[in-house]
Structure 1
């Protein structure tokens, strides 16, 4: 399995085994390999700001950016790198001699690692199925997770993208106002009413505060529904129990 490290800027090869999987990949700080063609579907590749590490993640397609957005929102991935390594399938593999560059390497909040591939469900053909299956086998040998990300509901994704505009720390409400918002939403309340509760003198001022709490999963809403002033927010269990955002 070849990969590149930031310190040496050279390609390094290693045999897949549990010892390789147990290495501290975060300290290696891998550089993306980028073997795919990119720039597809009229999408200009973009750098997504990964909030947890204040670093950027390269996205080669709009589908990749949407999946990175959902991974960021999910809160289970601590660090994410784009195309930092490649898998060369060896003897015994149905793809012996071929190689594959997974889209993302992730370090999860529990310290474990995993690989992600991004492919819309309607574009997974027999070859892709085989490639993903063999990649999953490699991850099993490494002791890593593996998952193919196949997309989400379009409306839910657009709503989440709207919330993400307020994910930055500058949009966090002052602690005393955040407590008022969470208390008001215990039994459910519309977005419009919640804005008026949080900022009676200027309700629009509260929009970013509410969206920030929703992005941090302290407020719950139905992302699959139309997002407007009538959208209902409810305080999440993790907010009620004092779980960290």
Structure 2
């Protein structure tokens, strides 16, 4: 992705010899008439990386309309914080979906800051807006960039390498997300429809489903066991347990009523035996 206008403006104004991070705190990000508030900045360093970024709650920095003709910017509902994460492209939405399913990310901010590279960087005077800032379940932070593997060219690799170096200075994690198996992503998208709390089964029903799946059962069988009078009602319950990783399902296989679900304990037992 090309540097956006806001980064060019920062780089032209500052011309700092040091690599800097620029952001807009949400608590002071809007003034009375709704205009953007003052943008803050600091030299990239370990002290900055140890700040409580959840309290800063940075606003979106990039002002982009998304990828024309291919995707309309979408808001992904992040269940953990009951808030929406803005996605610039379908590739970003798929990666956010996988991050949500992985369960290692507590909070996620879209395009939360601009990095302006200092004189020692091969990108001196240029800037980059990472796609996502994440706070992980262990309290640590990290940045994510999204780029399909076939679009990671030499220019992008330099940008990603320099961003990784900044994250190393901050004491943060960094990863470039390059995509997943298309069929697995489609299957996960189907499961995600049942990720909401409204699809969570009652404790007693949850125990029935997990007990029935210990030997491995098809999705259709589990639905009939959980709700004999109306099996379709139980589809969301079964899929919710799979989304929460209490049931194992092969996302790389065809997904239908004959898909086999099994408890995590049974899958781990098979791996140990192998």
TM-score of the superposed pair, with normalisation by structure 1 = 0.95
For residues 242 and 173 of structure 2, the distance between their equivalents in structure 1, rounded to whole angstroms, comes to 28
Runs of 5+ consecutive residues of structure 2 not aligned to the other structure: 1-20, 30-37, 269-274
Of 74, 78, 83, 1:55 maps to 83
Structure with the larger helix share: 2
For residues 39 and 136 of structure 1, the distance between their equivalents in structure 2, rounded to whole angstroms, comes to 25
Contact 2:167 2:174 in 1 (8 A): yes
Tell me: CA distance 1:148–1:40, structure 2 relative to 1, closer, same or farther (3 Å).
Answer: farther
Structure 1's consecutive aligned runs of 4 or more residues displaced over 4 angstroms after TM superposition are: none
How do residues 93-172 of structure 1 correspond to structure 2 at under 5 angstroms? 93-172=121-200
SS in 1 for 2:72: coil
Q: Which residue of 1 aligns with 2:23?
A: 3
Tell me: CA distance 1:238–1:193, structure 2 relative to 1, closer, same or farther (3 Å).
Answer: closer
Q: Which residue of 1 aligns with 2:7?
A: none
Q: Which residue of 2 aligns with 1:212?
A: 240
Contact 1:35 1:101 in 2 (8 A): no
Contact 2:141 2:172 in 1 (8 A): yes
Q: Which residue of 2 aligns with 1:190?
A: 218
SS in 2 for 1:204: helix
Contact 1:218 1:239 in 2 (8 A): no
- After superposition, the CA RMSD in angstroms is 1.5
Of 24, 43, 46, 2:74 maps to 46
Shift of 1:37: 5.2
Shift of 1:198: 0.9
For residues 40 and 163 of structure 1, the distance between their equivalents in structure 2, rounded to whole angstroms, comes to 28
For residues 154 and 40 of structure 1, the distance between their equivalents in structure 2, rounded to whole angstroms, comes to 22
Q: Which residue of 2 aligns with 1:243?
A: none
Contact 1:218 1:238 in 2 (8 A): no
SS in 2 for 1:106: strand
Whether 1:226 and 2:254 are equivalent positions in the alignment is: yes
Contact 1:41 1:61 in 2 (8 A): no
For residues 94 and 36 of structure 1, the distance between their equivalents in structure 2, rounded to whole angstroms, comes to 25
Runs of 5+ consecutive residues of structure 1 not aligned to the other structure: 241-245
Contact 2:215 2:266 in 1 (8 A): no
Give aligned pairs, total. 240
Contact 1:182 1:239 in 2 (8 A): no
Q: Which residue of 2 aligns with 1:177?
A: 205
